[in-house]
A and B are shown apart, each in its own frame.
Chain A
Amino acid sequence: MLDKKVATRKSYGLALKELGEKNQNIVVLDADLSGATNTNIFAKSYPDRFFNMGIAEQDMFSTAAGVASLGKIPYASTFAVFAAGRAYDQIRNSICYPKLNVKICATHSGVTVGEDGATHQMLEDIGLMRGLPNMTVISPSDDTQTKWVIEEISKIDGPVYVRLARLETPIIYDENQKFEIGKAVQIGDGTDATVIATGVTVSEAIKAMENLKEEGINIRVLDIHTIKPIDREKIIKSAKETKRIITVEDHSIIGGIGSTVCEVLSEEYPTKVTRMGIKDTFGRSGKGIELMGYFGIDSNAIINEIKKEI
């Protein structure tokens, strides 16, 4: 575990091709980024069901809505900033309000995009997307989970936002791992603290857990792959069983899983929560992995935070 690395955007591309083989109703759209989002893998196998829409994201998501209205299952991809950001109104009014069956698979989320810098590092998408009625929001943490998610969401009748990453991250789960939409995965059962993570920060949290164990500090990790609907039960259970709750995400601390966890706990089991994430600032250029350190969302930052609190 954690040795082999794959970017979830790559897992997406491979899973999409497999799904396209099984299900003739799958249609894929991209906005001139098919090499980067990896939808080009599907395009090569099923050119008749692949539509390159050019650099026109607003058009792409509205077109996907029209395709879905006839019973097809469109997967539409671009970078997260151009999906949730640029095409927000199209996603809101043409997809979510009429509850059309469009799968928005947004790659290049967070500061881990790296060198492209702030304009391309989407840090607000979880907040934007989970605020939309009818939307399901999923942020898978590794290759295994992503492949499961891509097929699983084809069975949901309604819009889904999947948040994928550019950075190669460790494979966490083996092929036998079972997942369920809306159910967090608990890793470890320490009671000193719970680290709630999503996407690229899950493997960092696991690394932190393993390091801390050697020092006699026992924590657990909650992998929140489904941000909406949120797994209230597991969050409350961990708040009751552990001394501290820390959230960590490659996303703004405003509106992301930190906020989501606070909403759940403040209503049902008031608990002090520490939110680790991008602290109301834009990103910057650098290597993805360096930026995780710079913005304090890597395993070292998690270890330091836990030692400070315990």
Chain B
Amino acid sequence: MEKNELEKLKDIAVKVRKGILNAVYNGKSGHPGGSLSVADILTVLYFKEMNIDPKNPKMQDRDRLVLSKGHCSPALYSVLANRGFFGVEELKTFRNLNSRLQGHPDMKNIPGVDMTTGSLGQGLSVSNGMAIAMKLDNLNSRVYCIMGDGEIEEGQVWEAAMTSSKYKLDNLCVFVDNNNLQIDGTIGDVIGLNNIKEKFVSFGFYALEIDGNDIEQIVEALEKAKTIKDKPTVIIAKTVKGKGISYMENQVGWHGKAPNEEEFNIAIKELTK
């Protein structure tokens, strides 16, 4: 990737993070930690990787994205707004009574949202369904599914993993946002997942591990995924929860809490420098 493009993507990721903070601060509610950890992945997907058109959000042969960890809607909304699906000002209405920016993604009312999510563990199954339908229609489109690491504690994820593999869904690329924190503590303290990569490999996936806050590594992993045939790809993205805001990084307390005015101002200043 050219240096210019990399710098451009990094700048966009900063804007996306500002949008996340604007949404959660103005909405006085939401999930900043996991939104910030997944911001770089979503930035690369919507600004480099995916075949989409903000002017034609329902284009039939577009790529699809399922944000299975639906509580990180501020990240998806911020990326969509910055990409031109709707105005960035609208982010400030997040979670308000008359806003279409619902707490969790709502495909019926928000331009660019491909699937309604929120109840964890269902997005991989839905993504499989999309990938199957694309193959039935001979579309060259791809499906991207983003799950949280805590989320893969849901049993349905592993039912779905069997399906991805059985139907050889090489048009499916899954991210696990592995920030190692969930509401009640670290993944290890809450239940323990042992080796996530080995788990997916044993279910028939091609698996990669990357630094999920490193834009170059995300780009390379996505390139690699497109060369894998007859099996789905999973990218285990090691990330930092709250990435980019010093006092939020690796702090479980920022899973689902809005910053106050002072905290918001500090956050914006940190992102601006």
Contact = CB atoms under 8 A, between A and B. Distances in A.
Is B one of A's binding partners? yes
Interface of A: 27, 48-49, 51, 53-54, 56, 58-72, 74, 89-90, 92-94, 97-99
Nearest to A51: B132
A62 B132 contact: no
Q: Is the interface of B mostly helix, strand, loop or mixed?
A: helix
Contacts of B60: 70-71
Given A68-B129, A90-B122, 6 more contacts: A56-B156, A58-B122, A63-B160, A65-B125, A97-B116, A98-B116
Given A62-B126, A66-B128, A93 B118 contact: yes
Contacts of B160: 56, 59, 62-63
A27 B167 CA distance: 15
Nearest to B137: A70
A-B residue pairs, 8 tightest by C-beta: A66-B129, A62-B125, A59-B159, A56-B159, A70-B133, A66-B126, A98-B116, A63-B129
B129 A64 contact: yes
Contact of B130 (A48, A51, A66): A66
B97 interface: no
B126 A65 contact: yes
Contacts, number: 112
Nearest to B121: A58
A24 to B, nearest CB: 9
Interface string B138-176: 000000000000000001100110110011000000000
A97 B66 CA distance: 16
A69 B133 CA distance: 9
B73 interface: no
Interface in B101-135: 106-108, 114-119, 121-123, 125-134
Contact of B162 (A54, A65, A66, A68): A54
B136 interface: yes
B60 to A, nearest CB: 8
Contacts of A71: 60, 133
Interface of B: 60, 64, 66, 106-108, 114-119, 121-123, 125-134, 136-137, 155-156, 159-160, 162-163, 166-167
Contacts of A92: 119
Nearest to A67: B129
Given A51-B132, A59-B160, A69 B114 contact: yes
Contacts of A93: 116-119, 122
30 contacts: A51-B132, A51-B167, A54-B162, A58-B125, A58-B159, A59-B159, A59-B162, A61-B125, A62-B122, A63-B126, A63-B129, A65-B115, A65-B122, A66-B125, A66-B127, A69-B107, A69-B133, A70-B60, A71-B60, A74-B129, A90-B122, A90-B156, A92-B119, A93-B119, A93-B122, A94-B115, A94-B125, A97-B106, A97-B116, A99-B108
A65 B129 contact: yes
B136 A27 contact: yes
B153 to A, nearest CB: 14
Contacts of B115: 65-66, 69, 94, 98
B218 to A, nearest CB: 24
A63 B134 contact: no
A71 B58 CA distance: 11
Nearest to A65: B126
B136 to A, nearest CB: 7
Nearest to A54: B162
A51 B133 CA distance: 11
Q: Which of A60, A66, A99 gathers most chain B CB within 10 Å?
A: A66
Contacts of B156: 56, 58-59, 62, 90
Contacts of B127: 66
Contacts of A70: 60, 130, 133-134, 137
A67 B159 contact: no
B163 A56 contact: yes
Contacts of B118: 93
A40 B254 CA distance: 50
Contacts of B107: 69, 98
Contacts of A61: 125
Given A63-B128, A66-B132, A67-B132, A94 B116 contact: yes
A157 B107 CA distance: 16
Nearest to B126: A66
A167 B64 CA distance: 43
Contacts of B132: 51, 63, 66-67
Q: Which of B66, B108, B162, B163 gathers most chain A CB within 10 Å?
A: B163
Contacts of B162: 54, 56, 59
Contacts of B108: 98-99
Nearest to A90: B122
Nearest to B156: A58
Nearest to A99: B108
A69 B129 contact: yes
Contacts of A94: 115-116, 119, 122, 125-126
Q: Which of B106, B119, B132 gathers most chain A CB within 10 Å?
A: B132
B163 A53 contact: yes
Given A56-B163, A63-B125, A66-B125, A89 B119 contact: yes
A62 B155 CA distance: 13
B116 A62 contact: no
